[in-house]
Amino acid sequence: MTAISLISRFDALLSDLDGVVYAGPHAIPGAVESLQQLAGVGVGLGYVTNNASRSPAEVAAHLRELGAPAEDEQVVSSSQAAADLLASRLAPGSKVLITGSPALAREIELVGLTPVFGQDEEPVAVVQGFNPGIGWKDLAEAAYVVSAGALWVATNTDMSIPQARGIAPGNGTLVAAVTAATGRTPLVAGKPEAPLFHSAAKRLGAERPLVVGDRLDTDILGGNNAGFATVAVLTGVDTLESILAARAAERPDYIISALSDLYRPYPEVTHDDGTYACGDATARVAHGAVGVIGSKDSLDAWRAACAAWWAATPDAPAAQAPKLAWLGH
């Protein structure tokens, strides 16, 4: 590794899981090897996940099965971030209604709070996380406590989760049911909110972490919300086209093809009189379109295009794809 590699600018990597480390049950080619290299260059590693139904130990065990370096404490879940958030606002020993999994209840215990499971136990807060066993009675119990004015924290608000048979309702849909019943909205600990990333950085003692993810709406937005540098990797959900079109809040600082690119120098993007250059490619915005001199297969050409379009639309509140004109060299 040279002093100018991308990862050398940071003291820790905060990594998403699905779409970055693995896709389904299998590791993404080259990802495990790239993660294994971090220790040798003195960069810390943490994993950040919105999954509140599995314990960090279970997630870490799965990562180790794939060959990735993963001690239990390197996995930071939205359950842990929710517990940290509650602990920062409640007196030790305070009762918290658990609307979620046993793993969530355990995290509440670990921060010195008391998990309870009914309104009759007089909880002062509610924590809501995904559990496929949740039913109407559980949601009703949460609604009773929330509507009475209790502090309400959701681990995450992902509206859907991919399952083998298709797309299923995620924790966000269950949170929305309680919102619909009570008219209240919870504090959110997981992506894309900042607490999950702050918890992970604090655990690693990181001052300059880099957040890597494949999704703009959770990983990149969350890292940006936390005030950390962000890098989008092209091994999962988002594409070069969707990254170019991203709204301002979801734009990454860096774009890489795979985790192995972390160990390469990141090309500087320069600009002169409205023309943005990266490597051998240049891009310029005119009449709402981006003209690119470079190959459509070149990542540098897309980096230049992003820089030009984002400079022209610095406050974009919604995704907007420009027309692209590929002019070649």
Residues classed as catalytic: 16, 18
**Beta bridge partners of residue 106, listed in sequence order:** none
User: Which amino acid is located at 35 in the chain?
Assistant: L
Q: For residue 2, which of 263, 198, 247, 193 has the smallest C-alpha distance?
A: 263
Nearest to 150 by CA among 84, 112, 77, 98: 98
Q: Residue 173 — φ and ψ, nearest 5°? A: -70, -35
Q: How far apart are the first and last CA of the chain?
A: 31
* Residue 325 CB-half CA count within 13 A: 10
CA distance 174 to 207: 35
Structure tokens at 23: 């896709």
Q: Is the bond preceding 192 in cis, omega lying within 30 degrees of 0?
A: yes
Q: Do residues 229 and 253 lie in contact, with contact meaning Cβ atoms separated by under 8 Å?
A: yes
Residues 6 or more apart whose Cβ sits within 8 Å of residue 321? 241, 244, 245
Distance CA 68, CA 51 (A): 18
Closest CA to 10 of 210, 263, 199: 210
Coil, strand or helix at 174: helix
Q: Which of 85, 24, 64, 15 is nearest to 44 (CA)?
A: 15
